[in-house]
Structure 1
């Protein structure tokens, strides 16, 4: 009997070795990994620049706490805000921690409680973030949620009616990852920002999955008219090393003064080494252009499977893509794994693809060939 709580259900394989876009399990079977730890290993597995930076830091100091200065925090914060309207950063360890920090900041910054988030959204599994999340399945059995979150329809003009003078913030994702890889409409974003401006409402964008170049720009909001007051980050920020961040527009520094918030492990030297190396790789123009080019190439390849019968759409931005099916995809995902391709669901009927942002055209072709093989076999059966 396992000593683990069964929070993750049955797990089919254990990965023993990883390099670039490929992983090997404990039986020696090799897979093309288009999950990347759920959009975490954005530089691929064990990128040499990230590995070198972490190994160098391991030889110096691992942890000191935020009682003492950590120069890596300053360098990473500068990289995160450079070329944007954002000015400050706070470091933590995960996406849900970043979102909890945003929740505290918004409450204190505005003096208001009402927060408008959206149906099918996902913002984490801590208690306040369960309230923010617009999916009932993650809330079952936990009793009353943190009050004052209201859930408006995503990509729907009716959502504008939820925003009023009592609203502290509008909280959203540019692409709803867990909600089905649903991309917000640019015109809708513009209307949402205008309504927020009209009522003096803060805009919080959860970029935990979309940020750090995943969609082809540093942040997904850069492809929209949105001008967030708060951005939350994690996942791809550390190339697999746990790190999260809250990034803010001017004014937040007067609200989150000393003692307002903190983290024992947040922004530790190892995490900052991983984050700095990651940003040095992914925030380069050539890397962003590569994500855009490979995203377009992969999306075009996936579109050939859209037949109106088995699959009905390809959605997403950059290298965050979804293949929308007409029935549940769990069995198909298992078949793809057995054939050597790792992918993950986004809701019951969407296969989500989250490859390395440095993925090659040859690796995309290999993935498409495996999909074709499995889908063809499925149709024959």
Structure 2
């Protein structure tokens, strides 16, 4: 395909060569440049909350870009205020918001906010989880527990100590009065959609409370209805000190948010942090459309249908299904996830080979019961083809 050759000639090779070139989408369906139709069970990596070309999103973005598209942080505008107020209402706790453009930028803001707290209190190190993923900029990467992407770019500016995810005893041992903050995902995304044991986040909250360390919840993938709750930490009855958001918040437009609760939200002084595009009017308008159209009841219903349907499949390659809400991984008995991704695409479904033995499913939150049933019906054949 000519487009693939042009892509290869124009871009740095960090993404490799994507196998499919998409041209358009509608709802949970997309079409490639050759006209082939797919059911999208990747959702822009848990980002396209309302699917593709959702009328409310299209209207909000078109109306805003025709009104004013950009202001910078030198001026305020109503969409950013409305969005911050809406998030705070959903969180139902006193807090302050900073808007950025992506997940890694939201985590950079959280990192700097925590660092300011730590230096004020004379604390010296962070704790994060092995196999955790918080982003690829240097601050966020220093907190990312994946050696393959972290190690080539060290040394890092702060001391970060990594503990096994889900091990409350190891976390308790690692967090002392010198710890600045603990960075955790309520479910580890890039590690393979790995939920923690029940009570783990509550234990993390207690450990941080007893030592004075901050608890940072990275909900870049898990928030905005993805797990059937507005924010995954709400299901655990835990309020973090800092919350980071992105991906699904903008429904496909770039936006991130760092939320500081209580006094933590007031730590930054004027000039401590900033973003030229953060809180962009168009991105905020898109996020407001997302928050106004996500149906948590639908997410819970259709995610149970997807999970139960996949778990009912008896196939020698399928070991199990894990995850929360419309954020699942099918776990394989052999490292054939890439083959499953290829076979699924041939069958008209987009899925993501997240780990060698795990395939991520994160469809738009508007995916229908019929579309879920279609994937479940096709999955045994996809697994058989991938086993060849």
Which TM-score band applies after superposition, normalised by the shorter structure?
A: over 0.9
CA distance in 1, matches of 2:386, 2:141: 37
Counterpart of 1:9?
A: 16
- Give the alignment of 1:204-243 within 5 angstroms: 204-243=216-255
Corresponding residue SS for 2:113: helix
Per-residue CA shift, 1:147-198, capped at 9, x if unaligned? 3111111111322211110011111001101011110123222222111111
CA distance in 1, matches of 2:269, 2:288: 25
Shift, 1:373, TM fit = 2.1
Per-residue CA shift, 1:112-136, capped at 9, x if unaligned? 3311100110000001111101111
- Give the alignment of 1:143-292 within 5 angstroms: 143-156=154-167, 157-282=169-294, 287-292=295-300
The two structures, once aligned, show a CA RMSD in angstroms of 1.4
Unaligned runs of 5+ in 2: 1-7
Counterpart of 1:293?
A: 301
Query: Contact between 1:117 and 1:170, CA under 8 Å: does it hold in 2?
Result: yes
Match 2:73 to one of 66, 81, 84? 66
Shift, 1:330, TM fit = 0.7
Verify: 1:34 aligned to 2:41, yes or no: yes
Match 1:332 to one of 340, 359, 364? 340
Shift, 1:257, TM fit = 2.5
Verify: 1:132 aligned to 2:143, yes or no: yes
CA distance in 1, matches of 2:20, 2:95: 43
Shift, 1:303, TM fit = 0.5
Change in 2 beyond 3 A, CA 1:274/1:378:
closer
Shift, 1:225, TM fit = 3.5
Query: Contact between 1:314 and 1:323, CA under 8 Å: does it hold in 2?
Result: yes
CA distance in 1, matches of 2:165, 2:116: 26
- Give the alignment of 1:86-165 within 5 angstroms: 86-111=94-119, 112-156=123-167, 157-165=169-177
Per-residue CA shift, 1:262-308, capped at 9, x if unaligned? 100000111111111111112xxxx111111111110001112355x
Match 1:77 to one of 80, 84, 103? 84
TM-score (norm 1): 0.95
Change in 2 beyond 3 A, CA 1:364/1:264:
same
CA distance in 2, matches of 1:43, 1:237: 10
Corresponding residue SS for 1:122: coil
Verify: 1:313 aligned to 2:320, yes or no: yes
Change in 2 beyond 3 A, CA 1:60/1:144:
same
Counterpart of 2:50?
A: 43
Counterpart of 1:18?
A: 25
Corresponding residue SS for 1:366: helix
Match 1:353 to one of 361, 373, 380? 361
Query: Contact between 1:86 and 1:247, CA under 8 Å: does it hold in 2?
Result: no
Verify: 1:343 aligned to 2:351, yes or no: yes
Per-residue CA shift, 1:1-23, capped at 9, x if unaligned? 60211010121111001110000
Query: Contact between 1:98 and 1:234, CA under 8 Å: does it hold in 2?
Result: yes
CA distance in 1, matches of 2:201, 2:249: 25
Match 2:372 to one of 359, 364, 367? 364
Shift, 1:140, TM fit = 4.2
CA distance in 2, matches of 1:255, 1:187: 29
CA distance in 2, matches of 1:306, 1:96: 39
CA distance in 1, matches of 2:381, 2:141: 39
Shift, 1:201, TM fit = 1.2
